[in-house]
Amino acid sequence: MNVLVTGGAGFIGSHTVDKLISAGIQTVVIDRAEPKYRNDEAIYYRLDLNNPETENVFKAHDFDCVIHLAAQASVAVSVADPVKDAADNVMASVRVIEYCKKYGVKKIIVSSSAALYAVPQYLPVDEKHPVSFLSPYAISKHTMEEYVRLSGLDYIIFRYANVYGPRQDPHGEAGVVSIFIERALKGLPIEIHGDGEQTRDFVYVADVAEMNCRAVISPASNVVLNVSTNTQTSVNKLFELIKENTDYALLPIPAPSRPGDIKHSVLNNALVAETLDFTPQTTLADGLAETVEFFKRTY
């Protein structure tokens, strides 16, 4: 089997590449960034997906499946520059879809987001929950989903919860876990917005990569699946767990609630468990311990 991973030099992508290689699957990567965590058994092309030269990669390799992870992942960037957001998340995705159709790729697996659920009408949120949009990012992700549905390709759409773990950059568009860990290890102040009782569904990156790999070989197709732990964790609880793992001595600094912040989010993962016979295996405590050790070695 021959698989292309777009965004394979990134956080989730690099873990997915490692999983594919360890499973004996031939893997090709397209990413506009230089890979920081290169797997020597994968083939890398440093290209922006909107560069027409990307088509040559499809010409050169007979791909069975494409895992499309490349994206603009920042809600803030999408608000500040919706043209860039649309170029990266919509136009680049359309190009990938069209190349898949043109060169006979059988299946596409794409990364979407829990951002499509906006303010949940009920918890835990399942895949039948209505979609709604609080940002251009959510609009672009949903538009990408619709292009996939209309493509005629076999597809699996993953809607990720809050993914965390080793290799997540604590700068730029980092998640709260990597931001807290880096600041804790450096002894810097940590802000908690609002009362800290807002909850999120934190899923470990290795489990996400496992889902991506299972989707490649699964007969399942034409389905939307939440990737989550089905567990809520408050920001206050997250802070305490990170404090224990890092011997952080400072108290958190209260900060105002941020406009548009969702109070509670947790995704129902029953359908992905049924479809791929897998649910995340890593507890938050274990995942945080692994992530802290990675940050100690790296930053």
**Residues annotated catalytic, as ranges:** 137
Q: Are 272 and 201 in contact (CB under 8 A)?
A: no
CA atoms within 13 A on the CB side of 8: 28
Q: How far apart are CA 105 and CA 184, in angstroms?
A: 45
Find out whether the peptide bond into 170 is cis, omega within 30 degrees of 0.
no
Q: How far apart are CA 87 and CA 93, in angstroms?
A: 9
Q: How far apart are CA 227 and CA 212, in angstroms?
A: 10
Q: How far apart are CA 85 and CA 259, in angstroms?
A: 20
Tokens 């803030």 sit on residue: 76
CA atoms within 13 A on the CB side of 86: 7
Q: Are 34 and 192 in contact (CB under 8 A)?
A: no
